[in-house]
Amino acid sequence: MLRTKTIFYYDSFWALLFLLPSVLGFLIFVLFPIAASLGLSFTKWDLSTKMQWIGIKNFHEIFADRVAVKVFLNTLYFIAITVPLLIIIPLLLAIAMNQKMRGIRFFRAAYFLPVVSSMVAISMVWQWMYNKEFGLINYFLSVLGISGPNWLTSATWAMPAIMITSIWKNIGFNMLLFLAGLQSIPASFYEAADLDGVNWYRRLMSLTIPLLSTTTFFVVVMTVISSFQVFDQVVVITGGGPSRSSSVLVHYIYQNAFLFYRMGYASALGWLLFALIFILSLVQSRFSRTVEFD
């Protein structure tokens, strides 16, 4: 018995020792910044003067700040357009990529390639493609007899330009998730459907989509969370302009923290973003359980 306890304590010691770097990294680079940002959200601090405790004034200011309201609405606009498209298009692509045909691996890799590419590099390429005078997009539109818009300096088209870039970048990741879900469905289900003479549309709606409910829920949650955190392409392509028509919540947090040096207000905005993502994730989780139960 004593020997067993000794071995247990010995193994526990070495396990904790090997886990120590990860635990310290989590405490220093994750937990402490989160706690510090919560404390900062109740203060007024510009990194150079003494920190002042102001209570919940930063949170009150958010609802009175017209710019904050505008960038929040821009974020919702971005999510409302990109999330459905990043569900439907990858699902259709996954169905197409799930076929047994020659060279299918090449097409899977081609669609996934943007995912492993840098968003900054991709944004710089798309910024050139959106150029009104010599960009490829307006050139192809002119071939079709369409006069392309001034994508990056138009308050109407700046946000759609960000959306197109984001969708193109992230289609491959969601496609891969749906493809994994499709390949986990037993082939016997489809064989039975073929014997019953079920057409492709009914098979899709009554068999494929219901069996992909867990995968779809995961894809929806991850896509919504990443859409709330859109930042790189906004900074590189439009800088949030013109007139903040393409500025989003994370971009505004960055500006308040590192351009305006309003650390307390930026922290309050960050916690508002956290609350929104947390509540939305709970709602989606609840909805998913209700659908599966029904």
Summarize pLDDT for 10-62 with one digit per residue, the tens: 677 778 888 889 989 999 998 999 999 999 999 999 988 899 999 999 999 99
Check whether 200 has a pLDDT greater than 90: no
Check whether 184 has a pLDDT greater than 60: yes
In angstroms, what CA-CA distances link 163 with 60, 76, 81, 131, 251?
A: 31, 12, 8, 16, 15
What gap in Å lies between CA 103 and CA 100, rounded to an integer? 9
pLDDT at res. 2: 53
Surface-to-core class of residue 198, CB atoms within 10 Å of its CB (0-12 exposed, 13-18 middle, 19+ buried): middle
Check whether 185 has a pLDDT greater than 90: no
What gap in Å lies between CA 267 and CA 213, rounded to an integer? 36
Domains by residue range for the chain, with CATH: 2-40 (no CATH), 58-293 (1.10.3720.10)
Model confidence at 293, in pLDDT bands (50, 70, 90)? very low
Percent of the chain with pLDDT over 70: 94
pLDDT tens by residue, 161-178: 999 999 999 999 999 999
Check whether 111 has a pLDDT greater than 80: yes
